[in-house]
């Protein structure tokens, strides 16, 4: 079986090298694409499993392959996540490989034009550029990079270059969830799992629209309702969405209202003495930004404390312990009436929500994703939602607990677990910790001191430095982007990405599958294989690690991202970069065959002689034990539709996954009799932290000149920047472009009717879009919503680049804006163009 597969892969790789050439694409010249093939007669199809390429839910699909092409997709009935069901993106996922303008040839920018070059030259150019600029080089990968890709990049940067300028786009989507978990439980990632959706009585959606963004998970709940189960759905948000349509309660809030809402729940639990005394006393501590006793010897009131923190600053991600009495005094400020004023949610609804938490007989699941994470107080609101679950004891039972969702298929697997962020090392380690660096140096057989203790630049900073002229301190001059599209998805893109166009000495390498806003400014484009054109491993939002095999050859000369990283590494080793030798002088990415001979996998024709994924993954696996995030061995993953870590070997060859972390009986690392044990607690006493986090207003709020709030987001048909889904005709026709979703009264005030082309203006720029009123959803008065999938409407030119102080994640959901008809005078004349 294994040999056959390997032979097939070799064959496929060779076919790829010769056949399918020609669909060399540059945006300006789509006419070089070959004509569409004749309709094929398809008698039989082979099927294999793969996780879906899109969101962080982690559905499994069955991929139907005929004659080296994907021809059909089916929901995988053996997958626990989706049980055979998919969403419309998933059903069409096979089509993303076959857009007419796939990139199939490396391209180098010469005299302003991208011209085709050979792979050897491309790898050599990349290697020499990085070699010369290794301290000013940033590697920007993705929550869609596979675990082996992330691990290769990790070792390339920390081990090879002794540099920490390694980031991933997941910074833009779940960094606040990470800091929320770390500061609450001492270790990252959800403790609960999707099984909770099958037994919860109440589902609370915090700024989340799962009917469109995580439809499989939402259907898991509403299909229960259809079968007669009583599940109450409470939707907290700024827009009336498809999710709201299915909800029992809609708490319509203003931006940052979630902070007030969560604080109000806590205040009510305390005031009504309805919190779970036993759970809090046994398993929780209280925390805040600063110790109130620093400046005051008695209990301090809310306003004085907030003022004090404002003056002194916070004391780090892990804060300072406070007493329950101090917490009570501070939280007392958040009465329902006060919180109505802060959030816009009526006090009665806030009381209803608090009563829901006070009711111990009902099981509650909270879900959240971008609404809470893309937030300049993202860490704070993550802390608060954990806090209300901990305080009320709605924690750690099946169907009862908080569950953070991710937007990308390996945001957890690759970015959080492999640690492809500027401060991190694999397995929950950090570069600042000497012991952790030593672990990595030992695992990788590197000389002591090879790893750099100073964290690198986070995403926003990295691109700010890229876009700043070198003589003005812009000390990033080379960036390699893989599997993501920052030209469209960074906030404030004019400042953080497009400004690079003017800077001659900066060099951008982009590994991509289609032309994008990012390749537009690339100096070197490397055509990439995608999804089932390569081996891969993802990790979803419930700690599930999922493996798949390459099933079809990539088109033209497109090659695996992982191969690209490793080929550049090899070239740098050959050019004599000292970092690519371990302490015994061996190549750091050496892979031996069974006879012990080195496999020259950096030559593309030999890449599939060995399973590079398996080698890298099993190497990485050693890192996962320290924080008890034990991933299963590769061979075990091959047999499963993903396994949820920690996966422990119960007897030789038998592996058991974990559904609820920190819970006795479910988590093998919890001691007998402990009940619940937060064994990575930041306070070293097996307790979680209940945080006091005051309300704060957004970084930019509407004013007289720009009286509306601009919210950006997603739609069901498209995935993120639309690079893939816009090439699927069924999805593109259903959702052909971005739109300005307005409240009908706001539209009426401005004389705007459905379909009118309107101008949206913020302090950073403007775009023109058709208005869609009473369409897919309806924002509340004073809000305007625009999806970001449409490359032709660069809404991120308008968003702010303010970030959360801990997670460094930007806020895409609050920007002061005005919408006007094109024939009306410009609303805001001081706009920086």
Residues 753-772 touching another protein, rule: CB under 8 A, are 754-755, 770, 772
Binders of another protein in range 214-273 (CB under 8 A): 215-216, 218-219, 222-223, 225-226, 241-242, 245-246
Binders of another protein in range 515-554 (CB under 8 A): 515
271 SS3 class = helix
Q: 605: how many CB neighbours lie within 10 A of its CB? A: 12
Does residue 173 carry a catalytic annotation? yes
Query: Residue from 84, 633, 707, 744 that binds another protein (CB under 8 A)?
Result: 84
Q: Could you give the string, one character per residue 425-454, with x where binding to another protein holds by CB under 8 A and - elsewhere? A: ------------------------------
Annotated catalytic residue, options 55, 107, 131, 173: 173
Binders of another protein in range 44-73 (CB under 8 A): 45, 47, 49, 62, 64, 66, 69-73
Does residue 408 carry a catalytic annotation? yes
Does residue 352 carry a catalytic annotation? no
Q: Candidates 96-104, 130-138, 285-293, 546-554: pick the segment binding another protein (CB under 8 A).
A: 96-104
Neighbour order of strands in the sheet with 507-512: 113-116, 107-110, 524-527, 507-512, 478-482, 137-141, 166-168
Query: Residue from 455, 737, 744, 805 that binds another protein (CB under 8 A)?
Result: 737
| Cβ nearer to another protein, comparing 80 with 258 | 80
Q: Candidates 91-99, 402-410, 575-583, 586-594: pick the segment binding another protein (CB under 8 A).
A: 91-99
Report whether the peptide linkage leading into residue 206 is cis, meaning its omega lies within 30 degrees of zero.
no
Binders of another protein in range 477-516 (CB under 8 A): 515
Query: Residue from 14, 21, 95, 503 that binds another protein (CB under 8 A)?
Result: 95
Query: Residue from 337, 736, 768, 826 that binds another protein (CB under 8 A)?
Result: 736
- Say whether residue 658 binds another protein (CB under 8 A): yes
CB of 70 within 8 A of CB of 551? yes
Q: Candidates 82-90, 435-443, 445-453, 744-752: pick the segment binding another protein (CB under 8 A).
A: 82-90
Least spacing, CB of residue 589 vs another protein, in Å: 31
Annotated catalytic residue, options 107, 213, 264, 370: 370
Between CA 246 and CA 239 the distance in angstroms is 13
H-run or E-run covering 619: helix 612-621
For the chain, give the number of residues. Answer: 833
> What is the signed CA dihedral for 516, 517, 520, 526, rounded to 10 degrees?
-40
Does residue 407 carry a catalytic annotation? yes
* Residue recorded with tokens 């999710």: 243
Strand partners, 546: 538
- Say whether residue 399 binds another protein (CB under 8 A): no
Between CA 257 and CA 346 the distance in angstroms is 11
- Say whether residue 717 binds another protein (CB under 8 A): yes
CB-based contacts of 542: which residues, under 8 Å, 6+ apart? Answer: 58, 81, 190, 192, 193, 194, 403, 644
Query: Residue from 68, 346, 675, 744 that binds another protein (CB under 8 A)?
Result: 675
| Cβ nearer to another protein, comparing 494 with 732 | 732
Q: List b or e across 726-745, with b for residues whose CB sees 16 or more CB atoms inside 10 angstroms.
A: bbbeebeeebeebbbbbbee
Query: Residue from 572, 728, 758, 815 that binds another protein (CB under 8 A)?
Result: 728
| Cβ nearer to another protein, comparing 75 with 180 | 75
Question: How do beta strands 757-762 and 524-527 pair?
Answer: unpaired
In the chain, the N- to C-terminal Cα span, in Å, equals 60
By CB under 8 A, the count of residues binding another protein is 101
Least spacing, CB of residue 443 vs another protein, in Å: 29
Between CA 732 and CA 589 the distance in angstroms is 42
Q: 820: how many CB neighbours lie within 10 A of its CB? A: 18
| Cβ nearer to another protein, comparing 441 with 756 | 756
- Say whether residue 656 binds another protein (CB under 8 A): yes
One-character DSSP codes across 519-560: GGG-SEEEEB--GGGS-EEEE-TTSEEEEE---SPPSTT-B-
Annotated catalytic residue, options 89, 329, 500, 506: 89
Binders of another protein in range 595-654 (CB under 8 A): 639-641, 643
Question: How do beta strands 688-691 and 284-288 pair?
Answer: parallel
Binders of another protein in range 18-37 (CB under 8 A): 23, 27, 30, 33, 36-37
Between CA 246 and CA 225 the distance in angstroms is 10
Active-site amino acid positions: 89, 173-174, 370, 407-408
């Amino acid at each position: 079986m294994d040999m056959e597969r390997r032979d097939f892969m070799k064959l496929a790789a060779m076919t790829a090298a010769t056949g399918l050439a020609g669909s060399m694409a540059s945006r300006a010249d789509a006419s070089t694409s070959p004509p569409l093939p004749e309709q094929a007669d398809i008698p039989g199809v082979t099927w294999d499993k793969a996780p879906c390429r899109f969101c962080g839910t982690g559905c499994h699909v069955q991929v139907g392959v005929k004659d080296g092409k994907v021809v059909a997709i089916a929901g995988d009935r053996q997958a626990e996540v989706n049980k055979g069901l998919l969403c419309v993106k998933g059903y069409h996922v096979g089509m993303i490989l076959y857009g007419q303008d796939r990139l199939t040839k490396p391209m180098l920018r010469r005299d302003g034009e991208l011209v085709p070059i050979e792979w050897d030259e491309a790898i050599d150019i990349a290697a020499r550029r990085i070699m010369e600029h290794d301290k000013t080089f940033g590697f920007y990968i993705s929550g869609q990079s596979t675990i082996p890709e992330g691990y290769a990049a990790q070792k390339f940067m920390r081990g090879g270059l002794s540099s920490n300028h390694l980031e991933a786009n997941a910074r833009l989507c779940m960094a606040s969830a990470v800091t929320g978990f770390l500061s609450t439980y001492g270790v990252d990632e959800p403790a609960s799992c999707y099984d909770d959706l099958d037994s919860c009585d109440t589902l609370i959606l915090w700024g989340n629209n799962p009917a469109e963004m995580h439809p499989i998970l939402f259907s898991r709940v509403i299909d229960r309702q259809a079968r007669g189960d009583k599940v109450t759905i409470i939707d907290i948000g700024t827009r009336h969405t498809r999710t709201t349509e299915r909800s029992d309660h809609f708490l319509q809030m203003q931006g940052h209202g979630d902070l007030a809402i969560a604080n109000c729940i806590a205040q009510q639990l305390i005031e009504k003495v309805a919190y779970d005394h036993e759970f809090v006393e046994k398993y929780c501590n209280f925390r805040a930004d600063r110790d109130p006793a620093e400046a005051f010897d008695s209990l301090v009131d809310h306003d004085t404390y907030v003022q004090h923190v404002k003056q002194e600053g916070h004391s780090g991600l892990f804060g300072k312990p406070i007493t329950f009495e101090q917490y009570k005094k501070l939280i007392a400020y958040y009465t329902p009436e006060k919180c109505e004023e802060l959030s816009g949610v009526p006090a009665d609804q806030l009381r209803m929500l608090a009563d829901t938490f006070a009711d111990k007989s009902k099981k509650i699941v909270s879900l959240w994703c971008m609404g809470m994470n893309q937030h300049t107080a993202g860490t704070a609101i993550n802390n608060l939602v954990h806090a209300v679950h901990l305080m009320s004891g709605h924690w750690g039972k099946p169907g009862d607990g908080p569950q953070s969702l991710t937007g990308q298929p390996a945001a957890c697997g690759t970015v959080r677990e492999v640690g492809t962020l500027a401060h991190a090392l694999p397995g929950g380690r950090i570069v600042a910790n000497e012991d952790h660096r030593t672990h990595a140096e030992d695992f990788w057989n590197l000389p002591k001191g090879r790893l750099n203790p100073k964290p690198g630049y986070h995403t926003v900073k990295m691109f700010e430095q890229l876009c700043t002229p070198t003589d003005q301190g812009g000390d990033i001059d080379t960036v390699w982007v893989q599997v993501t599209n920052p030209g469209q998805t960074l906030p404030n893109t004019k400042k953080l990405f497009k400004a690079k166009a003017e800077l001659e000495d900066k060099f951008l390498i982009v590994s991509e599958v289609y032309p994008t806003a990012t390749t537009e400014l690339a100096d070197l484009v490397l055509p990439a294989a995608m999804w089932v054109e390569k081996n891969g491993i993802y990790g979803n939002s419930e700690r599930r690690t999922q493996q798949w095999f390459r099933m079809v050859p990539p088109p033209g000369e497109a090659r695996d991202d992982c191969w690209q990283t490793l080929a550049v590494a090899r070239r740098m080793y050959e050019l004599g970069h000292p970092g690519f030798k371990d302490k015994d002088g061996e190549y750091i990415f050496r892979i031996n065959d069974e006879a012990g001979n080195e496999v020259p996998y950096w030559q593309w024709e030999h890449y599939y002689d060995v399973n590079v994924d398996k080698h890298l993954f099993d190497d990485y696996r050693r890192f996962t034990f320290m924080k008890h995030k034990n991933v299963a061995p590769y061979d075990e993953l091959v047999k499963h539709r993903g396994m949820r870590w920690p996966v422990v070997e119960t007897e030789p060859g038998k592996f058991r996954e974990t559904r609820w972390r920190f819970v006795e009986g479910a988590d093998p690392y919890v001691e007998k009799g402990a009940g619940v044990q937060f064994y990575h607690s930041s306070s070293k006493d097996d307790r979680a932290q209940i945080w006091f986090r005051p309300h704060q207003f957004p970084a930019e709020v509407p004013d007289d000149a720009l009286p509306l709030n601009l919210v950006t987001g997603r739609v069901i048909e498209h995935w993120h920047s639309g690079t893939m889904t816009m090439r699927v005709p069924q999805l593109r026709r259903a959702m052909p472009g971005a739109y300005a979703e307005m409240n009908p009264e706001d539209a009426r005030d401005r004389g705007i009717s459905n379909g009118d082309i309107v101008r949206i203006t913020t302090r950073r720029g403007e775009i023109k879009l058709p208005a869609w009123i009473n369409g897919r959803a309806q924002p509340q008065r004073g809000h305007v919503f625009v999806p970001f999938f449409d490359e032709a409407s660069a809404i991120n030119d308008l968003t702010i680049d303010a970030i959360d102080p801990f997670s460094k994640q930007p806020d895409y959901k609050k920007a002061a804006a005005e919408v006007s008809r094109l024939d009306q005078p410009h609303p805001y004349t001081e706009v920086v163009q």
